[in-house]
Amino acid sequence: MFSTIHASFSFLSILVKGKIYTDKQMQKSIYYYPLIGGIIAFLASSITMLVFYFFFQKELCAIIFLFLECILSRGLHHDGLCDIVDAYGSGKTKEKFREILKDSRIGSFGVIALIFYFLFGTFSIAHLINMNIFSVEYYDLYQFVLFMTLGGMWNRLGLICLPTFSQLYLSPTPAFSLAKIMFSNYKKVFFYLWLCLLSGIIYYCYGHIMLLSLIVITILFTFPLVLLAKREDGYNGDFLGATCLLWEISYYLAGIITITR
């Protein structure tokens, strides 16, 4: 179990140095993604609140949180979002679509998507702090840490969403595929277990409006990627990274709807 969690940590973050893992360890590591996401978000939000305690600037805190999340995760998910938007924006399909996904360069569509993500994230987090979603005293900073930790768990759950509702892309030419190794024996029940657990916690902490808003927005954001994966004969790692960030945006939107109801 320790090796499995270690594999999950090393893949999703810079917190642990990677080593050689067996295929079985990599396959089991995906079930701990929400846990790792929560730990990353906990660290980022804790540091963010230390900054807020001294400088009291909500916009600065929002930028710092997003920056720390990106650094701690090596920009892994951000790269996936850029690749998907670039490939889709090109209007290409099938082989040409896959070629763009493999291109290490970021195109104009990818840059625009990344700018939008950081601008929206900054606005959303600053707004949530300002409007006090936490329904407690403004200076109870631990509530912010709790909210963002749950958000980190929620968006990493998005990493195993497409494998639940779509199929993995299998290249017609023999090639190494980490996604193929990791999801070859994927058990969908773990997605539903995590979904039920997080839904229950979010409902208990923030009420039914937050939960219903989150589920509806998440479905609306995820459905186009499911359709795109179907059109392109399956998902790959870039699809999963894009899903992760879309689930993060969904979480922020649900939070804003909760405080402005």
pTM above 0.75, yes or no: yes
Please state, in angstroms and rounded to a whole number, the distance separating the CA atoms of residues 153 and 175: 32
Which amino acid belongs to residue 91? G
Token output for 117:
């993500």
At 135 the pLDDT is: 45
DSSP three-state, residue 168: strand
CB 225 within 8 A of CB 246: yes
At 202 the pLDDT is: 95
At 166 the pLDDT is: 83
**Higher-pLDDT residue of 39, 237:** 39
Q: pLDDT class for 165, splitting at 50, 70, 90?
A: confident
Q: What average pLDDT does range 144-164 have in this prediction?
A: 92
**Higher-pLDDT residue of 178, 76:** 76
At 131 the pLDDT is: 66
What digits encode the pLDDT tens for the residues 53-65? 777 777 888 899 9
State yes or no: pLDDT of 139 exceeds 60: no
Token output for 37:
């996401």
Residue 231: how many other CB atoms lie within 10 Å: 12
Token output for 187:
């058990």
Please state, in angstroms and rounded to a whole number, the distance separating the CA atoms of residues 195 and 68: 25
DSSP three-state, residue 161: coil
What digits encode the pLDDT tens for the residues 202-227? 999 889 999 999 999 999 999 999 99
State yes or no: pLDDT of 175 exceeds 70: no
Which amino acid belongs to residue 260? T
State yes or no: pLDDT of 37 exceeds 90: yes
What digits encode the pLDDT tens for the residues 225-236? 999 888 888 888
Parent domain of 139: 2-259
Tally of domains in the chain: 1
Q: What is the mean pLDDT of the chain?
A: 85
At 136 the pLDDT is: 44
What digits encode the pLDDT tens for the residues 238-258? 889 999 999 999 999 999 888
